[in-house]
Amino acid sequence: MRQPNSKNRILHGILIITIPMIAFNANGASISSPVYRLSFGGGQFSDTFQVGASFSLRAPSVVAIADLELAIGSIASRANREAFVSFGPTWRWPLWNRRSYIDFGISPTLLSGSSFDGRRLGGNFHFTSSLALGLNLGHRGRTTVSLRIQHTSNGGLNSPNPGLDMIGLSWSVGARE
């Protein structure tokens, strides 16, 4: 049996993730403006950076669940580049005067490759957990900027499990209110 290539796996992952998104949106949810991210790796992946965009799906008010976030992008270094897609819940807690907030999220993540810069990652399927401290700016707070830390690893499902830690900035214009 022929093994699918990395690009096909990512496309299949995007389709699998997008179908529930479409159904969710059809039931009264709303999709946010994109949040853009630029992050840099640490530790053994210190030469690594990530660029991406995410979209939040707000559940109808009658459904008591967190927002769902779809993130897509690329993790790259001088020698390597891999695509990623993730989809999972995020929670937001307003702070002080409601112009600042804390976000927490955890998402299953699919990478287009199972190694990066000659290091085995322990498969294509991972989990990304993140914590962000943000600020709502501008008219009605619809412009945001946040400092985000995240950890991506396979959660011990495979060996090795080096994990990828990143810190970066996220920003958006026309963000959720």
Span 54-83, pLDDT tens digits:
888 875 555 555 788 899 999 988 888 889
100-114 pLDDT per residue, tens:
999 999 999 999 888
Question: In terms of residue numbers, what domain contains 39?
Answer: 6-173
Number of domains in the chain: 1
Asked whether residue 66 is domain-assigned, the answer is yes
- CATH number of the domain that residue 159 is part of: 2.40.160.20
DSSP secondary structure letter of residue 156:
T
Asked whether residue 18 is domain-assigned, the answer is yes
* pTM summary value: 0.77
Asked whether residue 143 is domain-assigned, the answer is yes
> Six-digit token pair at 46?
């210190």
| Residue position matching structure tokens 């998402």 | 107
Rounded to an integer, what distance in angstroms lies between the CA atom of residue 78 and that of residue 171? 25
Is the pLDDT at 124 greater than 60? The verdict is yes
Is residue 163 within 8 Å of residue 128, measured between CB atoms? no
Asked whether residue 31 is domain-assigned, the answer is yes
The runs of H, that is alpha helices, within the chain are 6-26
Asked whether residue 1 is domain-assigned, the answer is no
Rounded to an integer, what distance in angstroms lies between the CA atom of residue 3 and that of residue 57? 33
